[in-house]
Amino acid sequence: MALIAVGVNHEHATLDFLERATVPEHEWGKVLRTLVSHRNIHEAVFLSTCLRTEVIADIDFFHGAIEDVTMTLAEATGIDVVEFHDRLSVHFDRGVVTHLMRVAAGLQSIVPGEFEILGQLRRALELAEEEHTTGQELRELFHRAIATGRRVRTDTAIARGTTSFAFAAVSMALDELGPAIRDADVVVVGAGQLASGVVKSLLNTVAEVNRVSVVNRTRERADALVASLGDPRVVARDYGSLVELVAHSRLTIVAAEAPSPLLTHDDLATAKGPLLVIDLGIPRAVEADVADLTTVRRLDIGELQARIERVIDERRDAVEDARRVVDADVEKFLADRRARGAAGIVRDLRTHFDEVVAAELERRAPELSTFDADELELVRSIVRSVVAKLAHRPTIALKEFAGTDQGVRLADATRSLFEL
């Protein structure tokens, strides 16, 4: 079996395509069940965020697995399978380990070092475990990748400054509004991790903000977010009041997932004054044609990505440090994986030798009956020592080449030769 990662992300696909390829979290379970229904796919973890939709899987055959995954993605998103061909990002075996650890480290994010991805990876693994589509191989890989992501943020400077998608969005709002943000009413749509990050960033960077209204389809989640913050400037409001709240706000940030726009041209036409709307949703949560309104300025992830380019320039040294941490952890994981891969065959080989020694000593017991205890133990020691020396080289070779094509051939030959 081997590892494969197949999907689309912001590095190889347009935001329009990523918008169409996003799969709501409540449908992830169905995608996982479909993936492992293919005989070629043994384990799978599925992740779909605003900037990546990806499958990490343990498979048998490379090309067949790509086809199975692509067909599953096409079915889940309603996109013709042909449209995926030129946009797919594909990694195999070692490349999967490197890719996932770089993702966890924030090296594959629009904002270098952003921390939301760690929570997204944890959630993807949790769902795979709930659906029983992951085993020891992928579980270990994800745990190690998440640990690497934490270490990168602790041991390097990549997590300094603008370190999250949410913070970058708030910084963009401040750049746009300047002093106008003071005493402003702000609306944040959503109550998940991204929305929570937006509200916290607003409170930490804009001391003069008047009120932040949190609006979510499920009022309970908005109430829980507000309660966790304990700031009187933050209030939860009913979803039915969204249009009215936005009409009286100076800034609205949409950080929610929705299959169709939450704010339309007609909704925003009611704005009472200049309004900045930042749409962090993929699919887009604010209709693009609101740009026709003279009182409304709409920004989305495209503009955010362009502004973040300067952050990347500022962090080149930190990025290189992070890559070195990732590279070291990749090598460590692969070495441990090779050792795990060899453990089974080595254990079986040693058990076989022990059984042969025990059976032969028992068979020759009558001939050894005249030996006293010390002499008998000496014979047993000599036999075990000879067998251990004979087994040493095969054992070392199996460990050295585990995880490679030659290792597979050695393991097959060992099992055949010794009838393991």
CATH of the domain at 255: 3.40.50.720
d(CA 217, CA 299): 22
- The sign of the dihedral angle between the CA atoms of 173, 17, 112, 194 is positive
Helices (H), 206-264: 219-229, 242-247
* Cβ atoms within 10 Å, residue 79: 16
* Tally of domains in the chain: 3
Q: Tens of pLDDT along 2-47?
A: 899 999 998 888 877 887 898 988 999 999 999 999 989 999 999 9
Check residue 415 and give its pLDDT. Answer: 80
What is the mean pLDDT of the segment spanning 238-260? 92
Q: Do 8 and 144 sit in the same domain of this protein?
A: yes
Q: Is the peptide bond before 112 cis (omega within 30 degrees of 0)?
A: no
d(CA 294, CA 292): 6
- The side-by-side arrangement of strands in the sheet containing 296-300 is 234-237, 211-215, 185-189, 251-254, 275-279, 296-300
* Boundary (domain end) residue, out of 115, 137, 161: 161
Check residue 404 and give its pLDDT. Answer: 67
Please report which confidence band the pLDDT of residue 302 belongs to, taking 50, 70 and 90 as the band edges: confident
Instruction: Supply the CATH number for residue 15's domain.
Output: 3.30.460.30
For residue 393, the number of C-alpha atoms closer than 13 Å in the C-beta half-sphere is 3
Q: Do 267 and 383 sit in the same domain of this protein?
A: no
Instruction: Name the DSSP letter for residue 40.
Output: T
Q: Do 41 and 62 sit in the same domain of this protein?
A: yes
For residue 97, the one-letter residue type is V
* Boundary (domain end) residue, out of 136, 161, 186: 161
Q: Do 139 and 267 sit in the same domain of this protein?
A: no
Active site residue 50: yes
Please report which confidence band the pLDDT of residue 297 belongs to, taking 50, 70 and 90 as the band edges: very high
The full DSSP string for 91-120 is EETHHHHHHHHHHHTTTTSSSTT-SHHHHH
Compute the mean pLDDT over every residue in the chain, rounded to the nearest whole number. Answer: 88
Three-class secondary structure assignment of 80-96: CHHHHCCCCEEEECHHH
From the list 6, 50, 127, 138, the catalytic residue is 50
Check residue 219 and give its pLDDT. Answer: 94
Check residue 127 and give its pLDDT. Answer: 96
Interstrand relation of 52-59 and 2-9 (parallel, antiparallel or unpaired):
antiparallel
Q: Do 54 and 22 sit in the same domain of this protein?
A: yes
Check residue 163 and give its pLDDT. Answer: 60
Output phi, psi for 364, to 5 deg: -95, 10
Helices (H), 270-372: 301-314, 316-363
Q: Do 367 and 339 sit in the same domain of this protein?
A: yes
Residue 319 covered by a domain:
no
Q: Do 299 and 179 sit in the same domain of this protein?
A: yes
Among candidate residues 76, 108, 168, 138, the one with its CA nearest the CA of residue 337? 138
Instruction: For residue 335, give the 3-state DSSP assignment.
Output: helix
- Contacts for 83 with CB less than 8 Å, ≥ 6 apart: 17
Interstrand relation of 52-59 and 41-48 (parallel, antiparallel or unpaired):
antiparallel
Residue 407 domain boundaries: 334-418
Check residue 413 and give its pLDDT. Answer: 81
Residue 322 covered by a domain:
no
Q: Do 81 and 154 sit in the same domain of this protein?
A: yes
pLDDT at 310 > cutoff 70: no
Q: Tens of pLDDT along 179-213?
A: 888 888 999 999 887 888 899 989 888 767 889 99
- Which H or E element spans position 212? strand 211-215
Q: Do 401 and 305 sit in the same domain of this protein?
A: no
Q: Do 302 and 395 sit in the same domain of this protein?
A: no
Helices (H), 156-270: 165-177, 193-205, 219-229, 242-247, 265-268
Assessment of whether the complete model's pTM goes beyond 0.85: no
Q: Do 209 and 242 sit in the same domain of this protein?
A: yes
Pick 65 or 415 by higher pLDDT.
65
Q: Tens of pLDDT along 121-154?
A: 999 999 999 999 998 889 999 999 999 999 999 9
Q: Do 146 and 195 sit in the same domain of this protein?
A: no
d(CA 237, CA 199): 14
d(CA 264, CA 266): 5
What is the mean pLDDT of the segment spanning 275-289? 88
Cα-based distances in Å from 247 to 70, 222, 243, 279:
42, 20, 6, 16
